Structures are given as C-alpha cells and as structure tokens.
Amino acid sequence: MPAESETKQIKRDSISGYAPVNGIKMYYEIHGEGTPLVLIHGGGSTIQTSFGKMLPLLAQDYKVIAVELQAHGHTNDRDSAESFEQDANDVAALLAYLKINKADFLGFSNGGHTAMQIGISHPEIVNKLILVSAFYKRDGTMKGFFDGMENATLGNMPAPLKEAYLKINNDSAGLQNMFEKDRARMLHFKDWRDENIASIKAPSLIIAGDKDVVTPEHAVKMSHIIPNAQLMIMPGTHGSFIGEVCAAEEGSKMPEMTATIIKEFLDK
C-alpha cells in the first residue's frame, strides 16, 4: 500500500490517494472490504457522476477501488491523446502500485471499453468483467451517435458533468481539454475485430439498456462472441439503471436491482 502521506481518509473504511503511474498522478478511492472490484467511469465523468449511486451498494460486499482516468476528475493529463489501451495500462499499473494481483472490473460506457481492453491486454489481473453500455463496433451504436460527435461542442456536454469537473478543478481550460480529448477518441474510434474480444477469457457480464447508446442487438452479439459471457438487457437509457448522474430517475430502485444482479454474478 502507498505511504500514509500519499493518502487521506475520506470516511470510515475509505481512503483516497494519488498513484504515480505512467507519467501521471492517478486518483483513486478505496471503499469497503473484501474481494477487489475496480470501477471505471465513463467519458467526461468522475467517480461520483458515474457511480455515486452504485458505489455505496457495492462497497457493502467488496473492496471497491474507484479510479479517475487521464485528464478526468482529480487525475492530471499527459501530453498525448487518450486511448483505451493507455487507460488499461494505467489501471493495471495502479493495481500493481496498490499491490493487488487480481480483481474484478466494472466499466461503464467508455470505462467499459477500458475494461474490455484490460481483459484483452492484461488477462492475468482479471477475475471477472462487467461491461456496462459498451460497444466494440461503430454500427453497434444508436443511429446518429457518431454523426452527432462530429459537430459536438463543449456546450453540448451535459451540465452535471461540467459542474462536477469544475467543482474538483475550477479550470475551464482543463474542462475544454478533457472534452476535446474524449471527443477525438470517439471520432477516431476504429472497430475492434471479433478476434480481439473473443480473446477475453474472463467470465463476463454484459449489461445494456433497451434504449441505450449501444443497441440491444449489438449487446447480444457481444455476448455471443465473448466466451463465458452472460447478458442482461435492462429497461432504461444510457446509465439510468446504474443511477448515473445525467440519467438517474428520482426514487428509482433500478440501481439496487442492477447491484443485486452484479453481486450474484460476482459471487458465483
């Protein structure tokens, strides 16, 4: 574990800190006890905006390690473009820093792509994967998704995500930089080959909404190509069933239902 001076207590049984990995200082939080479960947020997001509802539920049963990726939230940037390969390497380096040999991984949206890449590039550290609202081919998205990205500006970014970033950093240039890097990564997104995701050997749970960015048909296809995969199609939009800040519905029990399904999968 890192030296005490590099971490701080955020609540009982929880700590946060920064890990020096691959040229950046990567922010992480650890909540709860038990088998390690790594949470990887979506594009433009933070730990709290993606997992504010889910994290407390999962931390009841697992040692949840929530991360913030390059240029996101508390984590600084490097002088290079974002890539899922680099994010996967950063998360793997973080676990090595924390002296965790193997973990389960839950990634949402772009975090799901990173989790898939971890399953491909770093299979030795993976126990199980939960891939939420992720795709591996451009035609697996809702109609108009990539066309909309072509003309997207910072003004199109959901207000809760902008507010969360600025609350942490109070840096409008940093916000613009994060947006541009996230947008560029999507604009340059190239289809992954079937062989790539077929190489994932870890038991995997694929979760998508019936009105998600990823189409249900594509989620079904992924579940057929990834060995040892299971599929759950939930009623809802992108992130609504995990309580993501832009899609959460007041009073909804869907995050609790999703957490229950995830726990059952992990505990098998």
Ordered alpha helix ranges (H), 29-171: 47-51, 54-58, 84-97, 110-121, 145-150, 159-169
Q: 195 CB contacts (<8 Å, ≥6 apart)?
A: none
CATH homologous superfamily for the domain 4-267: Alpha/Beta hydrolase fold, catalytic domain (3.40.50.1820)
What are 61's two structure tokens? 């049963």
Domain range annotation of the chain: 4-267
Helix H or strand E segment including 240: none
Contact between 57 and 255 under an 8 Å Cβ cutoff? The reply is yes
First to last CA, the chain: 28
Q: Which helix (H) or strand (E) holds 63?
A: strand 63-68
How does pLDDT run along the chain (268 residues), one tens digit per residue?
444 335 677 666 799 999 999 999 999 999 999 999 999 999 999 999 999 999 999 999 999 999 999 999 999 999 999 999 999 999 999 999 999 999 999 999 999 999 999 999 999 999 999 999 999 999 999 999 999 899 899 999 999 999 999 999 999 999 999 999 999 999 999 999 999 999 999 999 999 999 999 999 999 999 999 999 999 999 999 999 999 999 999 999 999 999 999 999 999 9
Cα 231 to chain centroid distance, Å, stands at 18
Predicted TM-score (pTM) of this structure: 0.95
